[in-house]
A and B are shown apart, each in its own frame.
Chain A
Amino acid sequence: DVKVTQSSRYLVKRTGEKVFLECVQDMDHENMFWYRQDPGLGLRLIYFSYDVKMKEKGDIPEGYSVSREKKERFSLILESASTNQTSMYLCASSGLMNTEAFFGQGTRLTVV
């Protein structure tokens, strides 16, 4: 059974903290993605990676960075968490362009 696993389902952090969201996939996929989901705004792409150590900015990269040291793992980093980063974060992975993305269960992050 294919799987994308996010390290936490719920997370509460304080303003100014450095936050790490981890995502691991077991499908040997080249492509991995981080989205945030907010009511009325759908899924917005933060960053994606098409290979180890390769990354590209999505539509809303400000305040975030990513790391992909190994093919199976893609980390999202909030350098200094702010309350407007309170959201649901979804990780996804995919193979070739004609294939669907597989999603993790999501991490609901609250910054207080």
Chain B
Amino acid sequence: AQKVTQAQTEISVVEKEDVTLDCVYETRDTTYYLFWYKQPPSGELVFLIRRNSFDEQNEISGRYSWNFQKSTSSFNFTITASQVVDSAVYFCALRTYKYIFGTGTRLKVLA
């Protein structure tokens, strides 16, 4: 079975705090892809990052960073020095031949 678990339903932080969103996945496939999407209040999902199962390099993009660990089947997302504009629902997704999404984590960044 394929599954994505985002155990954190909602997180609230104060602006400038760092925050990590957790994502744990399950698959028996050896080739797969992991994604993070952001859904701001406007509703449209915005792609953030893609990782394939053979590339465990962590990635940093500005204030965003991602930590992929196959040993724990995790693909966590960290926002450094959070800002109010980061407030959104964040989804982690797994793709083999179809996309499976987690239930999302609502992040609230308070000014």
Interface residues of A (CB under 8 A from B): 33, 35, 40-45, 48, 50, 56, 58, 88, 90, 92, 94, 97-106
Q: How many A-B residue pairs have CB under 8 A?
A: 52
Cβ–Cβ < 8 Å partners of B99 in chain A = 33, 45, 92, 94, 101
Q: Specify the main secondary structure of chain A where it touches its partner.
A: strand
Task: Write the chain B residue with the least CB distance to A105.
Answer: B44
Contact with A along B30-45 (1 / 0, CB 8 A): 0001010100000111
14 contacts between A and B (CB under 8 A): A35-B101, A40-B9, A40-B103, A42-B91, A50-B97, A92-B45, A100-B35, A100-B47, A101-B35, A101-B93, A101-B99, A103-B37, A104-B44, A106-B43
CB distance from A23 to the nearest CB of B (A): 13
CB distance from B47 to the nearest CB of A (A): 4
Task: Write the chain B residue with the least CB distance to A88.
Answer: B43
Structural contact, A102 and B95, CB atoms closer than 8 A = no
Structural contact, B52 and A98, CB atoms closer than 8 A = yes
Instruction: Find A43's partner among B43, B47, B91 (CB 8 Å cutoff).
Output: B91
CA distance A98 to B96 in the complex (A): 9
B residues 91-108 in Cβ contact with A at 8 Å: 91, 93, 95-104
B residues 18-58 in Cβ contact with A at 8 Å: 33, 35, 37, 43-45, 47, 50, 52
